[in-house]
Amino acid sequence: MADSVEFAALLPWFESLFTNAEREEARTRLILHEFPVDAELRAVTAAPPGWAEQDE
């Protein structure tokens, strides 16, 4: 599931590509399949890809 469009839609570096409604639907679908959404998001966002890192 971590390789799904639903999961990708929730990643912060792809946030601007999806509406809030699409992101909520993606989260709902993952939860319905008992995917640990929040735990996986924490793990993936802890080490974002170099191209996704933003200068502050």
Read off the pLDDT of each residue in 39-54 and give the average, rounded to a whole number.
88
- Kindly report the pTM of this predicted structure: 0.82
What six digits make up the tokens of 45? 């966002």
* Average pLDDT over all residues of the chain: 91
Instruction: Compute CA distances 47 → 2, 25, 32, whole Å.
Output: 15, 25, 26
Give the start-to-end residue ranges of the domains of the chain. Answer: 5-51
CA 56 – CA 45 distance, rounded (Å): 16
Confidence band for 8, pLDDT divided at 50, 70 and 90: very high
pLDDT of 54 higher than 80: no
pLDDT at site 1: 59
